[in-house]
Amino acid sequence: WTILGLESSCDDTSAAILRMDPRNCPEILALVTEGQEALHADFGGVVPEIAARAHAEKLDLCVSDALTVAGLGVDAVDGIAVTAGPGLIGGVISGVMCAKGLAIGAGKPLVGVNHLAGHALSPQLEDNVPFPYLMLLVSGGHCQFLIVHGPDRFTRLGGTIDDAPGEAFDKTARLLALPQPGGPQVEEAAKSGDPVRFAFPRPLLDRPGCDMSFSGLKTALLRTRDATMTERGGLTRTDRADLCAGFQAAMCDVLAEKTRRALAECTKRGIALSALAVAGGVAANKSIRAALEGVAAKSDTRFVAPPLRYCTDNAAMIAYAGGLLLMDGQRDGMDLSARPRWPLDRSSAPMLGSGR
Ligand code: ATP
Ligand code: FE
């Protein structure tokens, strides 16, 4: 099965072509991604209308580039997979329309993919990670623990009750007048900082379970910043570095402790995990990776983190997730709709392929 995948749910327009291999990792023949950072730079965040327009303009180009890179015509494709939600609805609609056009034009089967399922399955793009495994999805818009039992079977163990970690990193950068996206900037600044000079809270550690909260961290940063500015009449480079280091250390502690609990919960339920995996843009953070790796090592669990190009939004993970569904016989018709919200867990909502 050769699959063409499309992703356009946030601010990356992406097309990928991969060849599924039932016994091994897929072969990624092409991955073409057009970011929109420059378009949104003046607004301090992603503007949905601008994003939707850019996706509509760039999707065709990404598809034809991907086909060129793979050296294939669209006839050689066996199926088309597209992110059908959750995400910014204008972008998702652009992707779904483009995929429908291709599917009709070339007479190929179509399948809508849950963006979160794409992330959750991304560890299998390059590593042999058998089901079930525990996934911590930690990105600009999401933060949750999922037991991944199969391509369309997930159990959510908990997640953030307010902001996502990436959002908190971005906000921190904004408050310290560092450029966007904030994560890499905060990580860089934290390198030379003192993580214990400022006391940051560790939200929800006093409560049982795997739920997390990050909005308090953001507020703590704002308050500490203002207090330091008032005291000293401004922020030095060292102040900034110490603030970043303190914030990041709190983030690491919370994610590590909650991961420990999620692993313990799996043991309690008698689920033999093949690995702890992490994905999403925040998984790029080396301190967070190291903290999670430490937790995995302590519980004798394998730790897997996909390379960065598969951690952030990309069409390869969508093509792969869609490929698994297509090989399983799942299909969507021309009534496939774009969904702004689409929870993954069966127990909290209808699943992948609802309406099918
Ligand atoms: P979602 O995938 O949930 O829809 P998104 O597309 O914004 O949201 P990603 O592209 O997966 O998310 O990740 C982007 C986020 O990752 C940004 O918030 C960015 O600041 C954060 N990030 C990137 N690199 C790092 C890093 N080194 N440390 C911390 N955060 C990082
Ligand atoms: Fe994403």
If you write DSSP's letter for every residue of 126-145 in order, what string do you get? TS--PSSEEEEEESSS-EEE
Q: Does ligand 1 come within 6 angstroms of the Cβ of 140?
A: yes
Q: How far apart are CA 281 and CA 278, in angstroms?
A: 10
40 is in an annotated binding site: no
Q: Outline where DSSP puts E strands in the chain.
A: 2-7, 12-19, 27-35, 79-85, 110-114, 133-138, 143-150, 153-159, 276-279, 303-304
What is the C-alpha to C-alpha distance for residues 9 and 86, in angstroms, rounded to an integer?
7
Q: How far is the CA of 119 from the centre of ligand 2 (A)?
A: 7
For the cut 70, the answer to whether the pLDDT of residue 351 exceeds it is no
Does ligand 1 have an atom closer than 6 angstroms to the CB of 282?
A: yes
The residue whose CA has the least distance to atom 9 of ligand 1 is 281
Any atom of ligand 1 within 6 Å of the Cβ of 285: yes
Prior bond of 181 cis (ω within 30°): yes
Per residue in 155-169, pLDDT (tens digit) is: 999 999 999 999 999
Whether the model clears a pTM of 0.90, i.e. scores above it, the answer is: yes
Listed residue (149, 113, 116) closest to 5, CA to CA: 113
Ligand 1: does its nearest atom lie under 6 Å from the Cβ of 281? yes
Residue 259 structure tokens: 């991961």
Q: Flag whether pLDDT at 353 surpasses 80.
A: no
CA 242 – ligand 1 centroid, Å: 22
* pLDDT at site 205: 92
By DSSP bridging, strand 303-304 and strand 276-279 are parallel
* Structure-token pair, residue 198: 């400022």
Question: Ligand 2 centre and the CA of 228: distance in Å?
Answer: 35
Distances (CA, A) of 64 to 15, 60, 149, 317, 321: 9, 6, 34, 19, 21
Residue with tokens 């392929």: 353
Atom of ligand 1 nearest to the CA of 46: 7
Q: Express as a percent the part of the chain with pLDDT over 70.
A: 97
pLDDT of residue 346: 63
Q: Confidence band (pLDDT; 50, 70, 90) for 72? A: very high
pLDDT score at 344: 87
pLDDT at residue 230 greater than cutoff 70: yes
Reported as a single tens digit per residue, the pLDDT across 281-293 is 999 999 999 999 9
Distance CA 104, CA 294 (A): 49
